[in-house]
Amino acid sequence: MRPVEVCDYMYTTLPPSLRGDSHHIDLRSDTVTKPSTGMRRAMAKADVGDDVYGEDPTVRALEERVAAMAGKEAGLFVPSGTQSNLVAIMTHCNRGDEVILGDDYHAFVFETGGAAAIGGVVPNPVPTDQNGGLSPDDALKAIKPNHTWFAQAKLLALENTVSGQVQTLESMNALCELARQNKLLTHLDGARIWNAMLATNQPLDTLAASFDSISTCLSKGLGAPVGSVLCGSVDFIARAERIRKVLGGGMRQAGVLAACGLFALDNNLPLLLHDHDNARRLADGLSDIDDLVVHAGDTNMMFLEPLEADRQKLVQYLADNGIRVGGPEVRIRVVTHLDVSATDIEKTIDVVHAYYKLRPNQRGRGI
């Protein structure tokens, strides 16, 4: 008889350094993780009901758990971070209102213009600085005077982490205070807020305190296959539930998915620190290469900037050696996650070094 319980237990509790897939290393994103055996077991055991009738106890448990962690009254389980942000924006804003947000932020760049296309909400982007922050001056300038000619700003939407960079509590609080003074509501896109939480050793409710709503993803570093939880006041969540329904996000026996989120909070949350260690080790291991600029972050994400001539070739060389990274763009995105081990990181360091050792002899012959 296969000692299933022992295998599963080991798989879910071993540090990532002792797990991982030795022949394929996928550093493109922390969304590429596959549900572990333990997580699949939790799905199989989940108690479920029809959540559109409000009858799924596992969904309810997840919503209550994340809301309590975030220090908010209520939570709403939604299929994706994209839908979570859209639901939040559409709940806070009416058609023709403006949402002020960073010009690099996910909700502006990577969500297919949903706020405008579906919600009729006008995005008003302000410059995102090198560290992913917004300047209070820029945010203030974006708020138009109360005049019949102008769309009125209703919401300030911030993000943490931004491309893996932790936003300080002080800067977030200052921007939220400015929003409040100008009668704006505030939303935090906290897809990777869990990384910020672990990196700063601050509880979620502290990081979320100044916001009217917060969206968190379970399918990034936490390793669940699907799902986000949007949190806010009871009134906000009641209105958000209607928007989720109109967007097609009402799910039936979704407890099998919510169970993954609960499992992830119990088992995978502390493991984010391994991802941060792995990212730091990788950045350190590549820092001695002259022709490669390493933009290290505070958490599980970094960007590599090779010379233009190397861009395509480096990404191809890595791929030929079983390592997938983002790009090839000016900056190649590299993300650590649950399914990347410390051994994978050492291999990646070796392969990048091998590319740069090989390169002078091979120049012009196209490796």
> Cα(70)–Cα(51) distance, rounded to whole angstroms?
22
**Cα 288 to the center of its chain, rounded Å:** 29
How are beta strands 332-335 and 301-306 bridged, if at all?
antiparallel
CB of 141 to ligand PLP, least distance (A): 24
Q: How many CB atoms lie within 10 A of CB 166?
A: 23
C-alpha distances out from residue 156 to 45, 112, 138, 299, Å: 40, 19, 12, 24
Q: Does 261 bind ligand PLP (CB under 6 A)?
A: no
Q: Which residue from 51, 63, 98, 159 is in contact with ligand PLP, where contact means CB under 6 A?
A: 159
In the bound state, the residue with its beta carbon closest to ligand PLP is 81
Using the minimum distance from each CB to ligand PLP, give the nearer residue, 43 or 193.
193
- SS3 (DSSP) at 190: strand
Q: Which residue from 72, 92, 106, 311 is in contact with ligand PLP, where contact means CB under 6 A?
A: 106
Q: Does 229 bind ligand PLP (CB under 6 A)?
A: no
Using the minimum distance from each CB to ligand PLP, give the nearer residue, 187 or 192.
192
> Cα(261)–Cα(268) distance, rounded to whole angstroms?
10
DSSP labels, 191-232: TTHHHHHHHHT--HHHHHTT-SEEEEESSSTT--SS-EEEEE
Using the minimum distance from each CB to ligand PLP, give the nearer residue, 91 or 228.
228
Using the minimum distance from each CB to ligand PLP, give the nearer residue, 192 or 280.
192
CA angle 304, 81, 72 (to 5 degrees): 115
Which tokens in the block code for residue 187?
Answer: 């939303």
Q: Which residue from 82, 186, 216, 336 is in contact with ligand PLP, where contact means CB under 6 A?
A: 82
CB of 362 to ligand PLP, least distance (A): 37
Using the minimum distance from each CB to ligand PLP, give the nearer residue, 249 or 306.
249
Q: Which residue from 16, 38, 81, 225 is in contact with ligand PLP, where contact means CB under 6 A?
A: 81
Task: Determine contact, residues 76/87, Cβ cutoff 8 Å.
Answer: yes
CB of 78 to ligand PLP, least distance (A): 9
Task: Determine contact, residues 276/195, Cβ cutoff 8 Å.
Answer: yes
Q: Does 80 bind ligand PLP (CB under 6 A)?
A: yes
CA atoms within 13 A on the CB side of 94: 2
Quick note: the x/- pattern for ligand PLP over 181-220, rule CB under 6 A, is --------x-xx------------------------x-xx
CB of 185 to ligand PLP, least distance (A): 18
| Interacting residues toward ligand PLP by CB under 6 A | 80-82, 85, 106, 159, 189, 191-192, 217, 219-220, 228
